[in-house]
Structure 1
Amino acid sequence: MTEWFEHFATVFVSTIHDVFPIVVIIFGFQLVVLRRPIPHLKRVLIGFVFVIFGLVFFLMGLEEALFPIGKLMAKQLTDPVFLGIELDAIGGDIASHWYEYYWVYLFAFAIGFSTTIAEPSLIAVAIKASEVSGGAINPWGLRIAVAIGVAVSIGLGTFRIVTGTPLYIYIIVGYIIVIIQTVYAPKSIIALAYDSGGVTTSTVTVPLVTALGLGLSTTVPGRDPLLDGFGLIAFASVFPIMSVMGYAQLGEWLAARNSKSDNTTSGEE
């Protein structure tokens, strides 16, 4: 119990140290530049206290639960006994046996989808997008589209780690597709699609995805955690842009198809 309180105190002091510049900037601009009192000062101070304690518990949760779980799952799913692979028999040639790791890809897909659905920043963006568009953008539709993009990206990212293929190939191809989609996608969705790629790399998704990548690169023979373990977040930033624009393009195509069908029916009558 004593060790827990010592750890809590260390993280608490570190969090205050990190949050302090933000407090100085906000209060400094309000009092020195704008020269106005801070409205609802008591409420603001209570809010900062909640933020600090929330960050402390969140950081402790990452260290005590999320990071270990991600690494443990990666270790268990890549265990040669679980996969039925004899490393001596294949001479360490993991890349040619990438198909044996299908449970890893499925787990990565599920983690990518579930963490994105639970991402607070994405929920906030989806709600605001619905309000601004007057309900034209469905919050759940947007969240599911982004979640599918992240799920595919994390699954593909784990495939890259297993096969040892270069990261830049996937990223370059991904952005080429994004540029092409940008030309043809509805103009009203482009900015939102690009933002959707950014909000996925936030509080819930990043810790688990990072832990999964590092755990996977550590347990797969021949992989370097520094070279192969990172990069999954880059996947999670690119593919949601593609999926959101694809979702908008599909919706536009279906609407045009239904409109054409209705016009044809009316003409026949």
Structure 2
Amino acid sequence: MRDMIEQLKEVVMAILPMALLIIILQYTVIGLPTDLFIRFLAGVVMVGLGLFLFLVGVHIGLLPIGELIGSSLPKTNKPWLILITGFLLGFVVTVAEPDVRVLASQIDQVSEGEISNLMLVYSVAIGVGIFVTVAMARTIFSIPLKYLLVGGYSIVFILALFTPQSYLPISFDAGGVTTGPMTVPFILALGVGVTSVLQGKSSTSDGFGLVALASIGPIISVMILGVIFG
């Protein structure tokens, strides 16, 4: 119960400043039509309720199951199973990520279907899945994070030379939306779970950095999409 109250406080503190600012602007500057302003207030209430239930669900279900999966996989002594599971989990969690869906629908709309909703979602999900696999390999084989980050962004900068201009902003936005409320908790919990079991690993030094790596994958995948279809 105490955790639910804390989640409620977080949601109120996240939404209240924005709502107050819009209300102040409504009566001082913008003067929205009454029906639109009422829809805004109703939307704030529904967003707050939805975000509260979502955060409660993350803490009750996603985080524990992510850590449990992460701590169970190393006990199989099969590194290939950890890598495959990392790819599959990275893929399906990204497909379920609300931020990715919003970005994909907006791009589908402004491009008039040239970059379809599903094509972008699955491209981003594949990129995340591949780099979650890389992150798992980094944990298992003790690969320094800085080498992977330098290598990943080197690929990004090289691909940027060949990617059509219209795809460049989309690719970097795709990297940003994957750090959303669905993907980040699950991937972090998975990484911490894996490092908590592997001998000689520290949850602080080896369990983090997964999100940094995972956000590179969508950038590269969308750039490759641009090179192919652009």
- Work out whether the TM-score is over 0.5: yes
| Structure 2: distance between partners of 1:199 and 1:10 | 25
Native 8 Å contact 2:15 2:44 kept in 1: no
Aligned residues between the structures: 229
The answer on 1:147 being equivalent to 2:125 is yes
Q: Return the match for 1:247 from 210, 214, 225.
A: 225
Pairwise CA distance, 1:18: 3.0
Q: Return the match for 1:13 from 9, 13, 19.
A: 9
The answer on 1:230 being equivalent to 2:208 is yes
Pairwise CA distance, 1:45: 2.1
TM-score, normalization by structure 2: 0.93
Q: Return the match for 2:46 from 38, 47, 50.
A: 50
The answer on 1:28 being equivalent to 2:43 is no
Change (3 A) 1:155 1:39: farther
Pairwise CA distance, 1:170: 0.6
TM-score, normalization by structure 1: 0.80
Q: Which amino acid aligns with 1:127?
A: S
The answer on 1:117 being equivalent to 2:106 is no
Calculate percent identity across the aligned residue pairs. Answer: 32
For the pair shown, the structure with the greater C-alpha radius of gyration is 1
Native 8 Å contact 1:30 1:38 kept in 2: no
| Structure 1: distance between partners of 2:46 and 2:127 | 33
Q: Which residue of 1 aligns with 2:177?
A: 199
Q: Which amino acid aligns with 2:62?
A: L
Change (3 A) 1:148 1:29: same
CA RMSD of aligned residues (A): 1.7
Pairwise CA distance, 1:37: 5.0
Q: Return the match for 1:73 from 65, 69, 72.
A: 69
Say which is worse superposed, 204-213 or 49-58, in terms of deviation. Answer: 49-58
Q: Which residue of 2 aligns with 1:89?
A: none
Alignment of 1:69-218 (within 5 A): 69-79=65-75, 82-83=76-77, 100-218=78-196
Q: Return the match for 1:220 from 184, 198, 201.
A: 198
Native 8 Å contact 1:105 1:159 kept in 2: yes
Higher RCO (C-alpha 8 Å, min separation 6): 2
| Structure 2: distance between partners of 1:213 and 1:49 | 34
Gaps in structure 2 of 5+ consecutive residues:
none
Change (3 A) 1:52 1:171: same
SS of 2:215's equivalent in the other structure is helix
Change (3 A) 1:204 1:44: same
CA deviation map 1:216-235 (0-9, x unaligned): 11111111111111111111
